[in-house]
A and B are shown apart, each in its own frame.
Chain A
């Protein structure tokens, strides 16, 4: 009996955290956004400013409860409690009880005419009504309690009695059998397979921008630009291990280069887009090199602070009255002329998407070549242990400067494309948040991993654009995502392994060193 009791208790313990989370989400009005998201999935997106149908709110709560019920049941089963599903019931039941009391209290108070919106901003009468499922406070409270309790309990029961583990194993075995089939294997090994994949990719990149419309071109264009930025910062932070927080400065230099050279207002130079691309990249690389010179001796926190300052200096300079005549000041630069080639002008979003895809492909190629070369190896060695790398003969100053200059060049091209696509750039495009975003996407993807950068860019720039509902909670979601990532996958979404360089050994390796001494003849 005692053991059942402890399954129940452990459910209550984990349930108390869950309760706090649920209450918090309710208090900030996240319930409405989350359920609006669900509603959109089913094609019933609410108009802006309105609440989605009540059912989705309950479904949203039920989903939370299912997650909690399942996870707390799994935890109890790990601890070896007798009736683990009890903890599913108890944990979500606790949350349901507290939520019910909450709804009861606030619902009755609102019915009595009280208004808390001055202190609790999200709690509008409509939202309270939404929470209580369009019913009276008592009924609403009961419905919520019921939904949470049943969803959590059923999830717990399902975990215990349905053979999820076996099912998963079965799927995995079948997949592995398919993947390792002889025909499949030889297909993957053949040269044509690789070409085929590339050809498909090219075809996709050619047709997709034409088909999916301007909104998606906008979203994926932004993702592409962030992939460029991420690849550059990945070289600086992920490979050479220098924590640079002012990365946006290089982005700004690229953007302002193309803006100043191609806009009518401050200077009316109109040099054309292509020279601006080259100059922008070179200027960004040069600034990376120059900022690198004084910070070579700094490491860790100090480096982060100094580069943070550098980024802010650039932004403040762009904004300052002093340079208004030169940079356009706080108003920025408008009407930047887009690129044209042989009389054909890249004016539509589709054309620009092609340009971005081209730049990303080139950047991916250069980054992966660098990463797998002796240059990349030296960078990683510097990241691992700078003093030893230097004592092993790596010229650390040179390689760190190279990393900064190359990383800055990637940001430069990103900035050029960004400004030319928007036909506008101003100081507000180059705030600290850009640096933080890029750094986060590198960390979330996995430090030093190129596929990780692409994945991270999609996760952190693409998803928020797609999940418009969450716009108000973007920073919250950001923080939560980073915390969850650091706990669940500290190595990143797609961590990179080391390349395989070992050739197969012709004979078994010798056990003792002196036996093989004869083979070495240098000296």
Chain B
């Protein structure tokens, strides 16, 4: 299977700080790929390098074989890469349906003159965009709530609306930055099924940053672990779970000694 996204030795520096250090990723098409790691490991920075917010100092980001590092974010969006944000960033004063309409921007062609004159092209396109927005809202479970201001939506709905906005672009690669952050176990479970369904029905490739291990282990095909900007492990969920370097990164060194101590205490 072809690789949807590849990063080759990508590094991002902030002054003297190496936020992402020579990371290689190979993400096959139609896979769900997770990036995990402790706080400050450089996961979101890597995301920003892929989606065009940052230009990596070294290395290359390849999307279906074409290098995309250094392109502006709107160009990257129009290539078919869409993302969501760790802290929800909707257009708060706009309605839910308008948020989804903005997401369709890369596919719309009519100009401002069309808009003023209401030409046939403009009306047809607007109609189509509205249809699509209604369908997407329904798809994420927000049918009938299109006219609600997005800041008035409940938290879980805002997360799903953000995904709907990303999907409106008809992406081939979807970057989800902690989609279940701040959700209760029930909502998390729903979101997990939802993400799985996305891949199945829309033939998407999904790159995921997530802290909730039940989600990560439940739906990922492959997992990469970052720590201090470096890739410390890669593999299937079961491989990652038993990798001692991963445990060390999450719990700190000397963990074995600690667990040993607890075991002895229990025995006493």
Give A contacts to B, CB under 8 Å: 366, 369-370, 373-378, 380-381, 384-385, 387-396, 402, 406, 498-503, 505, 508-514, 516-520, 522-523
Give B contacts to A, CB under 8 Å: 51-53, 72-74, 76-78, 82-83, 85, 89, 91-95, 97-98, 101-103, 105-106, 108, 110, 112, 115-116, 118, 122, 126, 129-130, 132-136, 138-147, 149, 160, 165-166, 169-170, 190, 193-194, 197, 201-204
Q: Are B138 and A387 in contact (CB under 8 A)?
A: no
Residues in A neighbouring B82, C-beta threshold 8 A:
392
10 A/B residue pairs, CB under 8 Å, sorted by A: A377-B94, A501-B97, A501-B147, A503-B134, A510-B141, A513-B139, A516-B138, A517-B201, A522-B170, A523-B201
A380 to B83, CA, bound (A): 20
A516 to B197, CA, bound (A): 11
A387 to B141, CA, bound (A): 27
A522 to B103, CA, bound (A): 15
Partner of A393, one of B77, B92, B122, B203: B77
CB proximity of B76 to chain A, nearest CB, Å: 8
Q: Are A517 and B139 in contact (CB under 8 A)?
A: yes
Q: Are A501 and B130 in contact (CB under 8 A)?
A: yes
User: Which 4 pairs show the lowest CB-CB distances between chains A and B?
Assistant: A373-B115, A393-B106, A502-B146, A509-B143
Q: Are A391 and B53 in contact (CB under 8 A)?
A: yes
Residues in A neighbouring B136, C-beta threshold 8 A:
520
Q: Are B141 and A511 in contact (CB under 8 A)?
A: yes
Residues in A neighbouring B118, C-beta threshold 8 A:
369
Residues in B neighbouring A499, C-beta threshold 8 A:
95
Contact A501 B83, CB 8 Å, known A366-B116, A389-B91, A390-B73? no
Residues in B neighbouring A389, C-beta threshold 8 A:
91, 102
Contact A390 B74, CB 8 Å, known A384-B92, A514-B194, A520-B201? yes
A384 to B52, CA, bound (A): 20
CB proximity of A413 to chain B, nearest CB, Å: 15
Q: Are B102 and A392 in contact (CB under 8 A)?
A: yes
Residues in A neighbouring B91, C-beta threshold 8 A:
380-381, 384-385, 388-389
A360 to B128, CA, bound (A): 32
A366 to B118, CA, bound (A): 11
Q: Are B201 and A498 in contact (CB under 8 A)?
A: no
Q: Are B94 and A380 in contact (CB under 8 A)?
A: yes
Q: Are A514 and B102 in contact (CB under 8 A)?
A: no
Please give me the residue from chain A that is nearest to B114 by CB atom: A373
Please give me the residue from chain A that is nearest to B76 by CB atom: A391
Q: Are B94 and A498 in contact (CB under 8 A)?
A: yes
Please give me the residue from chain A that is nearest to B82 by CB atom: A392
A402 to B111, CA, bound (A): 11
CB proximity of A521 to chain B, nearest CB, Å: 8
Q: Are B194 and A509 in contact (CB under 8 A)?
A: no
Known A375-B115, A385-B91, A392-B169; 14 more pairs at CB < 8 Å: A370-B112, A373-B112, A378-B102, A381-B102, A388-B89, A391-B52, A392-B77, A392-B102, A402-B112, A509-B145, A513-B141, A516-B138, A517-B139, A519-B139
